[in-house]
Amino acid sequence: MTVTRRVFLKSTGLAAASLGTLTAMPKFLLRASALKDSTGTDAARHRKILIAIFQRGAADGLNIVVPFGERNYYQMRPTIAIPEPRKGDSATAIDLDGFFGLHPSLAPFKPLYDQGHLAILHAAGSPDNTRSHFDAQDFMESATPGVKSTPDGWLNRLMQAQPAAQSTPFRGIALSPQMPRSLYGPAPAVAITNLNDFGIRAGRFTDQMTEAFEMLYGNSAGDQVRSMGAESFEAVEFLKKMNPQQFQPENGAIYPNGPFGNALRQVAQLIKANVGLEVAFTDIGGWDHHAGEGNVQGQIANRLREFSEGLVALHIDLGDRMEDVVVLTMSEFGRTARENGNRGTDHGHANCMFVLGGPVKGGKLYARWPGLRNENLYEGRDLALTTDFRDVFGEVVDKHLGCKNLAKVFPGFNSSPANYRNFIRV
């Protein structure tokens, strides 16, 4: 990897120079540059943002968005099925449309769904039939199912394909200790777990030592470690200036305790601080329920509670800013339609995804439902796939972020608006 040290503009304004010719300027930027709002942050105010959430470990989509209208669902899951909705009984699925229902731990999602901010995709995922967590995550994050040699991640290619609205080291951010596969690649991205820890700490010598390390890692051509160090110091300097920590949760939003809530709270801070964030990524693990999965209570119920409370807190906290934000959730594959011998589920195939935000045509479940009768099952065991995850990603990339170079973002895949499920407003 060779990354040359980039010089980014010290101002938060529009980096027109990086946009090239006017014709290449994405539509949303043209609109944004025309709309100088009272805060003076102009383009930043209307920058389109994507927040990708990875549920690592293969979440059990059939117990998350429950097809309670399927008789066979209950046959196949004698002990872990979510009961069909019953008025006044909170230990049952939350009815969406008379056929599908939300797991009761997703109760916080229901108002967002009703208000049209939340859409659901089902029977979606990767066409590759691997049931290896590692491979399937790799395929979903590189967005090249079946191809292991893809060097970069889809979110990074997205940034490569689009000129930056503002030159900033915080255009792509992972709230995680490791850089996720989705953000691998030459476009600059930052992995961070705690904004407060982001900088050199040497007591009263902090400034001098920061400068000294900067020099040590300067002139980075050709060296992986040095270039990463150079990037780090650009980011430190920039973050110090933007001071996202000054922003507290608004509108009474309460994030759940734990790494997931912390990650989302900091995503919101970065958005409010206008650091130039366009792509954010974080993950939430603990979905690999081979044994003792639980139903309306238990392991999956606990994970879903944290999951929904986190996303809803983000939605509340960002308020009007959600107009420019799309949150997209994913998991490497679904789980077996039948429960296994240990009241759990094994590795399966298609899954459900959530899309949340102002640009979303919510209040609807988008699926060509393949059915759950035995003869409908993929390889005789899993929910079959009717929506390729790349068509979901692609629609967000195209219609929300305005990136038309889908061939770059999804190499080897024939992206076509004809395959979109059309959950994003035009």
Partner 1 sequence: MSLFRVMRLKRFGTVVHCLWVHGLLAGVEALTLLSLIMVPFQPAYLTASPEGATLSDRAGMLASVEQVAHVLNRLTYGPHPEDIERVGKMGIKSFIEQQLHPESIPDAGVEQKLAGLETLKMTSSELASAYPPPQVIRQVQQRQREAMSRPDDPSSGEMMSKEGTAEAPPVPLRRGNPQRIEAAATEPARNPNMKLEGPREIVKELQQAKVIRAVYSERQLYEEMVDFWENHFNIFAGKGADRWLLTEYDRDIIRPNAMGKFKDLVEATAHSPAMLFYLDNWLSADPNGPHPKASKGRGNARNRPLGNRRYDPWGRPVPPSRIPSSPPAAAQNQGNPKRGLNENYARELMELHTLGVEGGYTQKDVTEVARCFTGWTILQPRQGGAFFFNERIHDKGVKAVLGHKIHAGGEKDAEEVIRILVRHPSTAHFIAKKLVTRFVSDDPPEALVGRVAATYLKTEGDIREMLRTIFYSPQFSSREAYRAKVKSPFELVVSAIRTSGGDTNASIPLLQFIARMGQPLFMYQAPTGYPDRASEWLNTGTLLTRMNFALAFAANRIPGTNVELSGLLGEVSPTQVDEVRTRLLNLYLLGTASDQTRAALSKAPLPPGTDNARIPDVSAPQATVSKALPVEIAGLILGSPEFQRR
Site for partner 1 in 373-402 (CB under 8 A): 379
CA 60 to CA 62: how far, in whole Å?
6
Residues in 4-63 at the binding interface with partner 1, rule: CB under 8 A: 56-57
Among 69, 116, 249, 298, binds partner 1 (CB under 8 A): 298
DSSP SS3 for 357: strand
Helices (H) and strands (E) in the chain, counts: 12, 12
From residue 105, alpha-carbon distances to 109, 345, 392, 405, 426 in Å are 9, 19, 25, 38, 32
- Residue 292 makes contact with partner 1 by CB under 8 A: yes
Query: Would you say 42 or 283 has its CB closer to partner 1?
Result: 283
* Residue 185 beta carbon to partner 1: minimum distance, rounded to whole angstroms: 10
Task: Name the CA radius of gyration of the chain, rounded.
Answer: 22
Q: Is 296 among the residues that bind partner 1 (CB under 8 A)? A: yes
| Residue among 383, 380, 391, 385 nearest 418 (CA) | 391
Between residues 24 and 205, which has the closer beta carbon with respect to partner 1?
Answer: 205
Q: How far is the CB of 224 from partner 1 (least distance, A)?
A: 6
224 near partner 1, rule: CB under 8 A = yes
The yes or no reply on residue 294 touching partner 1 (CB under 8 A) is yes
Of 149, 213, 155, 146, the C-alpha closest to 179 is 155
Q: Quick one: CA dihedral 327, 360, 57, 342, positive or negative?
A: positive
- Give which of 258, 343, 403 is closest to 78, Cα–Cα: 343
Residue (of 10, 9, 27) closest to 18 by Cα position = 9
* Interface with partner 1: number of residues (CB under 8 A): 73
Backbone angles phi, psi at 320, to 5 degrees: -60, -25
Neighbours of 153 (CB within 10 A): 27
CA distance 221 to 19: 25
Nearer to partner 1, 27 or 148 (CB): 148
Min. distance of Cβ 416 from partner 1 in angstroms? 31
Binding positions for partner 1, 73-92, rule CB under 8 A: 74, 77-79, 81-84, 91
CB of 18 to partner 1, least distance (A): 21
With contacts defined by CB under 8 A, name the span among 35-43, 229-237, 370-378, 415-423 that binds partner 1.
Answer: 229-237
When the beta carbons of 81 and 392 are compared against partner 1, the nearer one is 81
d(CA 353, CA 166): 30
Q: One symbol per residue from 261 to 290: x for binding partner 1 (CB under 8 A), - otherwise; what is it?
A: ------------------------x----x
Q: Which of 60, 61, 59, 34 is nearest to 45 (CA)?
A: 34
Where in 187-206 is the site for partner 1 (CB under 8 A)?
Answer: 190-193, 197-202, 205
Start-to-end CA span in the chain (Å): 38
Dihedral of alpha carbons 145, 150, 156, 162, sign: negative
Tell me if 344 contacts partner 1 by CB under 8 A.
yes
Nearer residue to partner 1 within complex by CB, 113 or 184: 184
Pairing outcome for strands 94-95 and 351-357: unpaired
Residues 108-147, interacting with partner 1 (CB under 8 A)? 129, 131-135
Q: How far is the CB of 189 from partner 1 (least distance, A)?
A: 8
Length of the chain: 426
Query: Which CB, 61 or 294, lies closer to partner 1?
Result: 294
Q: Which of 3, 51, 158, 235 binds partner 1 (CB under 8 A)?
A: 235
Instruction: Kindly state the smallest distance separating residue 196's Cβ from partner 1, in Å.
Output: 12
Cβ-based nearer residue to partner 1, 168 or 415? 168
Contact indicator for 95, 101 with CB cutoff of 8 Å: yes
Token pair recorded at residue 292: 């003792």
Q: How far is the CB of 379 from partner 1 (least distance, A)?
A: 7
Of the ranges 154-162, 211-219, 256-264, 412-420, which one interacts with partner 1 (CB under 8 A)? 211-219
353-372 binders of partner 1 (CB under 8 A): none
Kindly state the tokens that stand for 149.
């040699």
Among residues 146, 218, 412, 417, which is the contact residue for partner 1, using CB under 8 A? 218
> Do 148 and 378 contact (CB within 8 A), yes or no?
no
- Find the angle CA(383)-CA(67)-CA(144) to the nearest 5 degrees: 35
CB of 268 to partner 1, least distance (A): 18
User: Using the rule CB under 8 A, which residue among 9, 16, 25, 228 binds partner 1?
Assistant: 228
Residues 154-193 touching partner 1, rule: CB under 8 A, are 169, 174, 177-179, 184, 190-193
